[in-house]
Structure 1
Amino acid sequence: MTTELFLPLRRIGLAAALSAGAGLATAEPQHGIAMYGEPALPPDFVSLPYANPDAPTGGRFVEASVGSFDSLNPYILKGSAPWQLRFLTGESLMARSIDEPFTLYGLLAESVETGPNREWVEFTLRPEARFSDGSPVTVEDVIWSYETLGTVGHPRYHGFYGKVASIEQTGDRSVRFTFNVEDRELALLAGIRPILQKAQWEGLDFAESGLDVIPITSSEYSVTDFEAGRFVELTRNPDYWGNGVVPFMNGLGNIDTLRLEFFGDETAAFEAFKIGDVNTNREFNVARWEGQYDFPMVESGDVVLSVLPHSRPSGMTGFVMNTRKDQFADWRVRQAMIEVFNFEFINEAMTGSAQPRITSYFSNSPLGMQPGPAEGRVREFLEMYPDALLPGALDGYALPVSDGTERNRAGTGNALALLEEAGWTIQDGALKNADGDDFTFEILLETGASENQSIIDMYVQSLERIGVNPTISTVDGAQYKERTDAYDFDMTYFRRGLSLSPGNEQYLYWGSEAADTPGGRNLMGVQNEAIDGLINTLLTSESQDDFVAATRALDRVLTTGRYVIPIYQWNISRIAHSKNLHYPDTMPLFGDWPGWQPDVWWYEED
């Protein structure tokens, strides 16, 4: 196994960043830091390779979201805040390039320095760094932000903070983090937490805020107008402190006004786009893309249809089974639910069979599990946890493939055989256990998710053939968040985007400690020593080969866990947008990903 697996993904200069040894950390201040090797861009870089430093400023960017919101604080668990705010308003000590697997460059910090084994990391703030109200960003703000987010902020921030032994000021503008565990990624994670203004929250309860207090940050964008549940408007600060100061920001933040419009369902959102009330729309359904994007604004050329490539893993999208519930505690039942899901028939109905199925969590990338039995280093890693592996992890596993007909006889037969092994048989037309209890469960969906509803409607018809009649509950966005935060569901929609540099976020997604944390992201409730151990291995790997092997092994354990019923993947992005919205010719490695739209886009009329 060699790092040549990554060569198709690289741009000029990226090969060195991926293939260089992991032990090259230096004890001198640097302009950037990479998970492996050195940053691809030199200290004197002018702008990111996928940004246009000469882009004009001005114009409007209007995006539609389905659902609602009751908070403008995306850094806490309480309430439902627009997810975009975390990326549009938050700034951190360093910023991540989406043209490299995991590399950071200075943002609020002008330099980064680490210990020889990355047991500590130190940042030096730029003297120019300012919050949107003009006050300076200080080391005190940095320390307060990490302590606050790590204790009363959203649970996504707690895991990192628990691995910090100390945070101390080491100079007028410098701060050092010392870690209490061996984890090479922590030096990078320390650079990408949002920095908030301490003074704003004196006398206020940070964890209980909502629409009443809008967090002050240092970003070029600030919330300037909103109507609860209807829209949020952000305005670009022409006097943004980073203009001409931060190379990373050259060519970013070009649009004057960013507006997030909220709609009750996908149909209303699409209609708003068709008449120009919204000027950009990301389309996930290829059948709709090919069949419904012939409206007048497209035909006149006022709307452009852009198809954009990317080289990132598929991630996992589908319907997750909550293993905390008795119905789904047995892997044979979960496999039966996968067998019944007639993907080929559903894919034809939804996309015209144009989108391939997700085959594993890291499919569509060199990090994905390989077909057939586990071999070499992957097998060695897996054999460390013999009692935690399910069938297929070592010998090979593939999702079932139906004949494409509606009845899916083979899948139905396989499902019934597995269910019988697990103690469930059809009695009087219904699936029951030995005590005569019906097998049933609830599928929780969010209002307005019409595509998911259509998929579930077809799935329910298949379930009825094995004597299962699930309940479908459709709730509004606030209720949906409340219930999923409390893991109050049996099955629900699930989506996790994954990168080419998986790290500590894997603990949040499927680590044992996150399984019972309210508001966590381990929706399936998995607690598995192999998953925990393999995450630790990929975090502490000192070679790219071991990192790849550990990730492939993790992919096998997750996939053979049968926690999610996968649907189709998106190996390209489809964005319809106003002809006045433009993006650079150079696409980043991650493609359409947070940090690309609207970040590097600009508005310019012909």
Structure 2
Amino acid sequence: MRTAPLAALALVTALPAAAQEVTVRHGISPFGELKYPPDFPHFEYVNPDAPQGGTLSFRGTGASRTFDSLNPFILKGEPAQGLERLYDTLLAPSLDEPGAAYGLIAETVEYPEDRSWAIFNLRPEARFTDGESLTAEDVVFTFEALKEHGMPWYRITLADVETVEALDPHRVRFTFREGAATRDLAAEVGSIEILPAHYYAEVPFEESTLDPPVGSGGFEVAEVSPGRSITYCRTDEYWGAELPVNVGKDNFDCVVYEYFGDNTAAFEALKVGEYLFHEEFTSALWATAYDFPAVERGWIKRETLPDGRPSGAQGFWFNLRREKFADPRVREAIALMFNFEWANQTLFHGLYERTDSFWENSELEAEGLPEGDELALLEEYRDQLPEAVFTEPAYSPPVSSLSQTDRRALREGSRLLDAAGWTVGEDGLRRNAQGEVLRVEMVDDSPAFERIALPFIGNLRALGIDATHTLIDPAQMQERQEVFDYDIAIGRLVMQLSPSVELRSLFGSEGADNPGTLNLAGVADPVVDALIERIIQAESRGELVTRVRALDRVLRAKHIWVPNWYKGSHFLAYWDVFGRPEEKPPYDRGDDFWWWDEEKYQSLRAEGALR
């Protein structure tokens, strides 16, 4: 295994007094500490001796449950799942350290104390899958192309990158905007996939395509059946296979994503082994449908594995860009009509818990009354915040009765709407002073979600709201979500253990009106913007936690969504043909470190379970 000399990996260079000391390290983390030393052989959560071979297959997912593009970097088209396997990044994340990353394409990273710039020293042996060398010019091209033509997320994330310069073929310097919060910027740019400049000199970057691209990672596209399946297989001679960050990872020769028109067809395919690994997200299926022969005979294993990450912000998101949702009392009244307790007992078999925080299942969740440093931070914005932020515990939805329509919630919702100026007319519908009916449309592309949405719609109608649930096809759903054409959208935001610049796209004003961002609610609030910047500027883990809790508390007080549910675990069903490490990484599902067990596979074949 190739390792760099220790002296090159953990160096602090003394510069003249007027200059800052420059650190040269084998990795980087938000607050300086790294778990793994310069000469670490591999991450602790992998099996360095894992066998190589076999095929791992999943069900393909995505907004449209299909795909028509192999370009995941632009708005055009619906990209196939798994395209990240084609590309390497400058740094690779550690999945047992929040925010830490270690050298992949980059052997080391240099930065001054204030992190106002970063130089990545590239490994000379780095290659693209067509054999061409990967150089600093490719890094420069990547960031220029993403800022100019990439999805809006890139433009927002890279807003603080002032320049990217190739200092020589294997050194690239990022200079960050003066005044920017620089704590996470080196790691952020280190996490972006590197693209080949020579390939895109001939191929238009800004167009979607089904032609397999040239990548920088260990996999290539082996087979494409548009909208039906895509297969990735390992390159014959991947230059980075023996790097410490890659040892024990990507042990399968090929990875396949099989696409199905609906959940029923996908589930039937799992039963007969058309794909081999599945995470179940439907509680009713998990509770009642896994009694088929392959499970009963032990061919398919079922497991519930803990998930140490924030559980994700799953909910019904109000579109605050629409005037009818301007008053938070309207939003709160609507949210009261979602009866989680009834749904959990009746529809979910009691498998879920109610979400109340955007960082549920983590130390970042706000709880109780603000105090200490969190209170001091919020006091700076007291005149711009609701008094309830200071006088009441962080908002949690009230517990409803087990009747589908909770009468107490209905009375409180009526009171809130009356106070907001939406009163009930003779026809039972609520109107404002201008005579406009309060109409609310929920759009969705999942027939399976109707059983959850329709009781909610029924409760809204009981409140006097002209509420509808519109089922549209996945392509329409993707388009409407990208341009924010909805009253209420159903969605789940994946939240980070060490939140940073991605918050600008999720909740910042800049993301509110940029098509293609994930600011589903259209939050555009100066206090939220200020708290996001304070989070990005945090200088310790303790400061970060305090500031995220403050943001969580403020967002919850604004009633920008109807929080749904979480479980803090993975429901996995997989054919018994795999091996895996003894311990999973705490902050990942861990299947990237599983391997093919040929003996198990042959045993199932002998029993007639698999072809």
TM-score by length of 1: 0.92
- Give per-residue Cα distances to partners, 1:445-468, cap 9 Å, x unaligned: 01xx24422110111111121122
2:58 to 36, 39, 63: 63
For residue 583 of structure 1, report the CA deviation from its aligned partner. 2.3
Residue identity matched to 1:308: L
The CA distance in 2 between the partners of 1:479 and 1:391, in whole Å, is: 41
- Give per-residue Cα distances to partners, 1:421-453, cap 9 Å, x unaligned: 11112212222223332211211101xx24422
Q: Is the 8 A contact 2:351 2:567 kept in 1?
A: no
Q: Is the 8 A contact 1:235 1:257 kept in 2?
A: yes
Q: Are 1:377 and 2:378 counterparts?
A: no
Q: Are 1:317 and 2:310 counterparts?
A: no
The CA distance in 1 between the partners of 2:523 and 2:188, in whole Å, is: 24
User: Residue 353 of structure 2: SS of its match in structure 1?
Assistant: coil
User: Residue 155 of structure 2: SS of its match in structure 1?
Assistant: helix
Q: What is residue 474 of structure 1 aligned with on the other side?
A: 471
Q: Is the 8 A contact 1:94 1:105 kept in 2?
A: yes
Residue identity matched to 2:421: G
For residue 481 of structure 1, report the CA deviation from its aligned partner. 1.1
Within-5 A mapping of 1:337-356? 337-356=334-353
- Give per-residue Cα distances to partners, 1:519-545, cap 9 Å, x unaligned: 111010010111111111111122222
Q: What is residue 461 of structure 1 aligned with on the other side?
A: 458
The CA distance in 2 between the partners of 1:232 and 1:269, in whole Å, is: 15
For residue 564 of structure 1, report the CA deviation from its aligned partner. 1.3
- Give per-residue Cα distances to partners, 1:97-142, cap 9 Å, x unaligned: 1211110011111111111111111111111111111111011111
Q: What is residue 94 of structure 2 aligned with on the other side?
A: 97
Q: What is residue 267 of structure 2 aligned with on the other side?
A: 270
Work out which of the two has the higher radius of gyration on C-alpha atoms and give 1 or 2: 2
The CA distance in 1 between the partners of 2:77 and 2:247, in whole Å, is: 34
Runs of 4+ in 1 over 6 A off after TM superposition: none
Within-5 A mapping of 1:53-132? 53-66=48-61, 67-86=65-84, 88-132=85-129
Residues 223 and 388 of structure 1, relative CA distance in 2, 3 Å threshold: farther
Residue identity matched to 2:432: N
Residue identity matched to 2:481: T
1:135 to 113, 132, 136: 132
Within-5 A mapping of 1:325-344? 325-344=322-341
Query: What RMSD, in angstroms, separates the aligned Cα atoms of the two structures?
Result: 1.6
For residue 55 of structure 1, report the CA deviation from its aligned partner. 0.9
Greater shift in the superposed pair: 383-392 or 64-73: 383-392
Q: What is residue 215 of structure 2 aligned with on the other side?
A: 217
Q: What is residue 227 of structure 1 aligned with on the other side?
A: 225
2:552 to 527, 550, 555: 555
For residue 83 of structure 1, report the CA deviation from its aligned partner. 4.2
Q: Are 1:168 and 2:165 counterparts?
A: yes
Q: What is residue 304 of structure 1 aligned with on the other side?
A: 301
Residue identity matched to 2:444: L
Residue identity matched to 2:192: R
Q: Are 1:497 and 2:494 counterparts?
A: yes
Residue identity matched to 1:165: E
Q: Is the 8 A contact 1:321 1:564 kept in 2?
A: yes
Greater shift in the superposed pair: 99-108 or 159-168: 159-168
Q: What is residue 3 of structure 2 aligned with on the other side?
A: none
Within-5 A mapping of 1:408-427? 408-427=406-425
For residue 96 of structure 1, report the CA deviation from its aligned partner. 0.8
- Give per-residue Cα distances to partners, 1:202-229, cap 9 Å, x unaligned: 1432112332x43321111111211221
TM-score by length of 2: 0.91
Within-5 A mapping of 1:144-293? 144-180=141-177, 181-211=180-210, 213-244=211-242, 246-293=243-290
User: Residue 76 of structure 1: SS of its match in structure 2?
Assistant: coil
Q: Is the 8 A contact 1:79 1:478 kept in 2?
A: no
For residue 26 of structure 1, report the CA deviation from its aligned partner. 6.4
2:386 to 390, 401, 422: 390
Q: Is the 8 A contact 1:59 1:256 kept in 2?
A: yes
Q: Is the 8 A contact 1:255 1:602 kept in 2?
A: yes
1:28 to 17, 23, 31: 23
The CA distance in 1 between the partners of 2:182 and 2:450, in whole Å, is: 42
Q: Is the 8 A contact 1:355 1:569 kept in 2?
A: yes
The CA distance in 2 between the partners of 1:183 and 1:243, in whole Å, is: 31
For residue 546 of structure 1, report the CA deviation from its aligned partner. 1.7
Count, aligned residues: 572
User: Residue 132 of structure 2: SS of its match in structure 1?
Assistant: coil
| Percent of matched pairs sharing the same residue | 37
Residue identity matched to 1:82: A
- Give per-residue Cα distances to partners, 1:394-437, cap 9 Å, x unaligned: 22222121122122001111111111111112212222223332
For residue 339 of structure 1, report the CA deviation from its aligned partner. 0.7
User: Residue 206 of structure 1: SS of its match in structure 2?
Assistant: coil
User: Residue 190 of structure 2: SS of its match in structure 1?
Assistant: coil
- Give per-residue Cα distances to partners, 1:264-302, cap 9 Å, x unaligned: 111111111111111111012333212111111111111
Q: What is residue 582 of structure 1 aligned with on the other side?
A: 579
The CA distance in 2 between the partners of 1:252 and 1:238, in whole Å, is: 16
Q: Is the 8 A contact 2:229 2:259 kept in 1?
A: yes
Q: Is the 8 A contact 1:89 1:217 kept in 2?
A: yes
In structure 1, the gaps of 5 or more residues are 1-24
For residue 387 of structure 1, report the CA deviation from its aligned partner. 4.2
Residue identity matched to 2:54: G
Q: What is residue 430 of structure 2 aligned with on the other side?
A: 431
User: Residue 411 of structure 2: SS of its match in structure 1?
Assistant: helix
Q: Is the 8 A contact 1:510 1:522 kept in 2?
A: yes
The CA distance in 1 between the partners of 2:474 and 2:580, in whole Å, is: 32
Q: Is the 8 A contact 1:382 1:530 kept in 2?
A: no
For residue 184 of structure 1, report the CA deviation from its aligned partner. 0.9
For residue 76 of structure 1, report the CA deviation from its aligned partner. 1.0
For residue 95 of structure 1, report the CA deviation from its aligned partner. 0.7
User: Residue 365 of structure 1: SS of its match in structure 2?
Assistant: coil
2:525 to 528, 538, 542: 528
The CA distance in 2 between the partners of 1:157 and 1:437, in whole Å, is: 39
The CA distance in 2 between the partners of 1:65 and 1:59, in whole Å, is: 19
User: Residue 80 of structure 1: SS of its match in structure 2?
Assistant: coil
Residue identity matched to 1:53: P
Residues 267 and 192 of structure 1, relative CA distance in 2, 3 Å threshold: same
- Give per-residue Cα distances to partners, 1:30-71, cap 9 Å, x unaligned: 111111232101111111111111111111111113511111
The CA distance in 2 between the partners of 1:583 and 1:425, in whole Å, is: 60
The CA distance in 1 between the partners of 2:281 and 2:411, in whole Å, is: 32
User: Residue 29 of structure 1: SS of its match in structure 2?
Assistant: strand
Residue identity matched to 1:376: G
The CA distance in 2 between the partners of 1:388 and 1:221, in whole Å, is: 51
1:601 to 594, 597, 609: 594
For residue 391 of structure 1, report the CA deviation from its aligned partner. 5.1
Residue identity matched to 1:394: F
